[in-house]
């Protein structure tokens, strides 16, 4: 099953509800672009490529919702829906990329207004299908970086749940596993939403890949004692100089890896590369509700005192100097990234 897909029978966008995993595998339906926007915002669906596909399908729903009888009116409704969808998560560039791609295709359409609705859906479906093929290509490139028997620290969730299907960094590990390299994964919990403990561990269980869950603060111990050979994580946006915005905690993990001579690999499609941003300091960082931090319980009891406050940036920036290579569908990019990244980002 894909993480997100169009249901022709109902005319809805269906997606795995990632808030319910690993306790239950449930699929929810979105009937309007506003429902898709809320699903992105509340993390029913998450992962940079996955929310890009969700945004594209959201525009397909918006086209069907529109009552406009002519092309200019329908395009205006699509642009309005794109603004609603684009405001949901600011850090992942795939969201804006997918919206821009579908809108650009729609603006070139010259047929009857009624046919534009099917055209937008076809473009969204094309984007989703391409995502699967792109992930497979990334995985093939990235698997060459994994040696037989490697122990890998993986941060956040980058498997099939973070994309339309297969995965980015976890897709690389999955491919290496299928090649008989027998990787072992130390899964960062990835606090505060625990995407690693909840989602990555669940996916690894499905694939039969051996893993152990560790708290984020344990990573330095395993790196310093020589028990880890590689670090892999994804990306939500990569600046032109190779700075990587990824789930909070990636920066500290990369620092510890560099101090211990362990290579760090970021795996992301070229749609995640934002050549318009010179460096990572220009990437907007989403700060989510403090309840995600304060709501954690231990033995059924809150872990924080009543009245406590918290900060909750969802991402941090790993400087390019800490990144050994960036794996894309077009190959493995190595420093200097400001020179080499543009060669791999093909229009």
Angle at 156 between CA 218 and CA 204, to 5 degrees: 90
φ, ψ at 91 (rounded to 5°): -85, -45
The conformation of residue 287, written as its DSSP 8-state character, comes to B
Q: Which one of the listed residues 165, 236, 243, 274 is annotated catalytic?
A: 236
Question: Which DSSP helix (H) or strand (E) runs through 263?
Answer: none
Judge residue 331's burial from the number of C-beta atoms within 10 Å of its C-beta, 0-12 exposed, 13-18 middle, 19 or more buried: middle
CA 232 – CA 337 distance, rounded (Å): 18
**Pairing, β 301-302 against β 264-267:** unpaired
Cα-Cα-Cα-Cα torsion 49, 54, 60, 66, nearest 10 degrees, comes to -130
Three-state DSSP class for 234?
Answer: coil
Q: Is 236 a catalytic residue?
A: yes
Three-state DSSP class for 327?
Answer: strand
Question: What number of residues does the chain have?
Answer: 347
Q: What are the structure tokens assigned to 240, written together?
A: 């032109």
Q: Which of 118, 109, 121, 113 is nearest to 57 (CA)?
A: 121
Q: Which residues are catalytic?
A: 236
């Amino acid at each position: 099953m894909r993480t997100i897909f169009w249901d022709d029978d109902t005319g809805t966008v269906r997606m795995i509800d990632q808030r319910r995993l690993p306790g239950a595998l449930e699929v929810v339906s979105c009937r309007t672009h506003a429902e898709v926007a809320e699903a992105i915002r509340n993390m029913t669906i998450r992962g940079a490529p996955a929310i890009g596909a969700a945004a594209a399908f959201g525009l397909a729903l918006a086209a069907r919702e529109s009552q406009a009888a002519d092309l200019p009116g329908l395009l205006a409704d699509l642009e309005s829906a794109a603004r609603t969808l684009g405001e949901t998560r600011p850090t992942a560039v795939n969201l804006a990329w997918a919206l821009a791609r579908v809108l650009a295709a729609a603006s070139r359409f010259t047929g009857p207004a009624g046919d534009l609705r099917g055209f937008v859906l076809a473009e969204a479906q094309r984007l989703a299908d391409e995502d699967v093929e792109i992930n497979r290509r990334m995985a093939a490139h990235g698997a060459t970086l994994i040696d037989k028997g490697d122990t890998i620290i993986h941060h956040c969730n980058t498997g099939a749940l973070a994309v339309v299907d297969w995965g980015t960094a976890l897709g690389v590990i999955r491919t290496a596993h299928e090649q008989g390299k027998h990787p072992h994964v130390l899964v960062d919990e990835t606090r505060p939403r625990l995407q690693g403990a909840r989602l990555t561990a669940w996916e690894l269980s499905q694939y039969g890949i051996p893993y152990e869950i560790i708290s984020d603060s344990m990573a330095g111990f395993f790196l310093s004692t020589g028990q880890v050979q590689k670090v892999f994580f994804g990306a939500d946006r990569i600046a032109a100089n190779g700075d990587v915005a990824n789930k909070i905690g990636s920066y500290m993990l990369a620092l510890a890896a560099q101090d211990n001579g362990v290579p760090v690999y970021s795996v992301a499609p070229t749609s995640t590369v934002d050549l318009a941003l010179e460096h990572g300091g220009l990437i907007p960082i989403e700060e989510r509700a403090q309840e995600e931090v304060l709501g954690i319980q231990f033995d059924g009891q809150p872990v924080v005192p009543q009245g406590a406050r918290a900060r909750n940036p969802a991402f941090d920036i790993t400087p390019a100097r800490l990144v050994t290579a960036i794996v894309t569908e077009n190959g493995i990019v190595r420093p200097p990234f400001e020179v080499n990244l543009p060669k791999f980002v093909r229009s």
